[in-house]
Structures are given as structure tokens and as C-alpha cells.
Amino acid sequence: MSVGNPPRGDRPHLRPTGPATPGPVRSFVLFVLMGGGVTVLSAMLLSAYGMVSDVPARLLAVNALITAGGTVLATELHRRVTFRSDRRGFRMHAESALTAFGAFLATSAAMLVLRAFNPDPSVLLDQGVYLAASAVAGGIRFVVLRLVVFSCRPGSAERRGRGEREAVALAA
């Protein structure tokens, strides 16, 4: 420390704050990359299974398993990479799964509304509606995950660690 400079604890912009939570833009880019990567992997697994089985009921069951596994994997990636959260456990996975289910309901509703107005849409219109609904649902899901599911909660390890470091900095 040089003469004339206040101690580090007196300069809030230099205080340690624990693991840096990425800003909203970086988090959103990571969210798209992680979620998109898991979606591509899930699609490849489902297509591979579809090549060896043409029984619709089995394909639906495999799709459900792949979707559940993909949701767990995406939640862990979002926790560790996208939001750098210290939350763990079943409740975090359940909350994240609810946001994924909400996105599923939104995209399903969009497809049903499309079919109600246009029973035989072109592939381009079909994909456009689905992708638009997915984008809106994904944006809402990102906000809910960032602000609710993976937010720093009172009493969390991240907050406790930050408070302890601030107390040590003030004491020094």
C-alpha cells in the first residue's frame, strides 16, 4: 500500500465480491450457448434413436427421457457456467424444470393456435412460429432463472462469504 491511499476496504470498487456473477449480456450469451448445445445434443440422440425404431410410443418415451436428462444437464450447466450460482439440490432442479415446462406449454400453445388458424401451414411458417415462440419463452425463462432460480439469496454461501470478507477488510 502506498502512502496517501486509503486501505483497500475503504474503496468499495476494489473490495472482493466472491465469484463474479456474469453480467446480463454475458449470461444471456452463455444461456443460449449452453441451452442450445444441450438441445442439439438431445436432437441428435433422438434422431439416432429414431433411425433404429419406428414405434411412435417408444419414440415418445425416449423423447421424454432425453428431455428430462437434457433439462438436468442444462440446469447444471446454467448453475455452474451461465449464472455461477452456489445453489444446489432438488429444489433448484425443480424450479428450473418448471421454467422449462412453462416454455414447453408456451410453444405448444403457439403451435395449437397456428393449427387453429391454418390447419396445413407450410414448413417455413410452422418453423417460424415455433422458433418465435421458443425465443419469447426462452427470454422469459432466462429472466426467471437469473432473477429467481439462480439469484443470490439471503444466507447463501456466496452472500455469507462476501459478508465475512467485508468484515475482515473492515477489521484490517
The C-alpha atoms of residue 51 and residue 2 are separated, in whole angstroms, by 69
> Side-chain half-sphere of 105: how many Cα atoms within 13 Å?
8
**Confidence (pLDDT) at 153:** 62
Determine the average pLDDT of the residues in 149-163: 59
pLDDT of residue 3: 52
Which cell numbers in the block locate residue 26? 454475458
Identify whether the C-beta of residue 35 lies closer than 8 Å to the C-beta of residue 27. Answer: no
pLDDT tens, position by position, 86-112? 888 899 999 999 999 998 899 889 989
Residue 54 has a pLDDT of 72
SS3 content of the chain, % helix, strand, coil (to 5): 75, 0, 25
Phi first, then psi, for residue 18 (nearest 5°) are: 85, -165
